[in-house]
Amino acid sequence: MSGGNKDGKADRQFIASLERGLRIMSAFQPDDRALSNQDLSERTGLPRPTVSRFTHTLRSLNYLAYHPDTGRYSLTPRVMEMGRAAFVAGEIRDIACPAMETLAELGPFSVALGVPSGLHIRYLELRRRPEAIVLNLDAGALVPMLQTAIGRAYLASLNLDERRDLFAQLERDDPDLFAAQEADVAAEIAAYDKQGFACSFGGWWPELSAVATVIRVVDDGDPLLLSISGLASALTADRLKGEYASALLNSAQVIESRMRRAYHR
């Protein structure tokens, strides 16, 4: 992330220190009980002395708790309350979950609602039938961007400058992975412009197929992302694109229209 606006120009209103502080808080993943300054430095790309100053400040504000026996930090309930407040205020659960549950009944797949989080996508909600469990993931899980349908849908939603900037970050993070996925990602971005969804067939796990689309609740800010995924043996490419993609798009349209009405009440 840089101090630029969406037109790629320098943004004098952009507060870089706030961005770095939020980057540190976003570095915590669902399975992390606590992280050291070194862990946070490696995940954020920030120098360790810089991380140390931010963790000290976040601890003083009660967003991080310090564990002297391990020298590590953990997120506090204050952070969870912020997330819960945003989640409820946006009416995401009340609006999205019924549509996701209806969609999940149509086939042997999981339905996920996500948001971009750094170089990953974070799941907000998951709905699935018991037989549709392929990966042991739950709400809060982070999934990669390049290899997944939900990540590719997000990349397709960006304007050219935003996508170029994010591509540069993804390439710096893992050059080999970026080189291996670049052609498939480009093809899915081009396909998204025509059909409104992106796919991944074995891009992340060999046996996993998925399709995803974008839910644009507000014109500014990050979108929500909706995907269905399941075993490739059940979700063939023809079935996924021909049968289930339309159901996904219909569900996304229902969620989007209802949430836009809620925002404008």
The Cα 99–Cα 95 span in angstroms is: 7
- The pLDDT, as a whole number, for residue 174 is 95
Q: 105 and 59 in one domain?
A: no
Residues 72 and 98 in one domain: no
Same domain assignment for residues 113 and 64: no
Q: Does residue 9 belong to any structural domain of this protein?
A: no
Using CA atoms, how far apart are residues 197 and 99, in angstroms rounded to an integer?
Answer: 18
CATH of the domain at 40: 1.10.10.10
Kindly report the CATH number assigned to the domain that includes residue 229: 3.30.450.40
Q: Are residues 68 and 134 in the same domain?
A: no
Strands (DSSP E) along the chain, which ranges? 64-67, 72-75, 110-117, 120-128, 142-144, 198-201, 208-215, 224-231
Tell me which residue range forms the domain holding 42.
16-80
C-alpha to C-alpha distance for 116 and 264, rounded to whole angstroms = 24
Q: Do 243 and 112 share a domain, yes or no?
A: yes
Domain closes at, from 38, 55, 80: 80
Order the strands of the 120-128 sheet from edge to edge.
Answer: 142-144, 120-128, 110-117, 224-231, 208-215, 198-201
Q: What are phi and psi of 156, to 5 degrees?
A: -65, -25
Q: Is residue 5 part of a domain?
A: no
Which of 46, 80, 114 is the last residue in one of the domains?
80
29 shares its domain with 58: yes
Would you call 4 helix, strand, or coil by DSSP? strand
Residues 68 and 190 in one domain: no
221: left (phi over 0), alpha (psi -120 to 50) or beta: left
Kindly report the pTM of this predicted structure.
Answer: 0.73
Pairing outcome for strands 224-231 and 110-117: antiparallel
Helices 16-26 + 48-60 axis angle, to 10: 80
Do 67 and 140 share a structural domain? no
Residues 239, 114 share a domain: yes
d(CA 236, CA 232): 6
Look at residue 3 and tell me if it is in a domain: no
Which single residue is written with the structure tokens 């939900």?
150
pLDDT in tens, the chain (265 residues): 445 555 545 677 888 888 898 899 888 887 788 899 999 999 999 999 999 999 999 998 888 889 888 999 988 867 766 665 566 555 677 889 999 999 999 988 999 999 888 899 988 889 987 766 666 778 888 899 999 999 999 999 999 999 999 999 999 999 999 999 999 999 999 999 999 999 999 999 888 999 999 998 766 677 899 999 999 888 899 999 989 999 999 999 999 998 877 655 5
> For residue 52, is it within any domain?
yes
| Separation of CA 21 from chain center | 19
Q: How many domains does the chain have?
A: 2
Strands 198-201 and 110-117: unpaired
Whether the Cβ atoms of residue 191 and residue 149 lie closer than 8 Å to each other: no
Q: Are residues 239 and 174 in the same domain?
A: yes
Residues 99, 207 within the same domain: yes
Residue 75 lies in a domain: yes
71/199 same-domain check: no
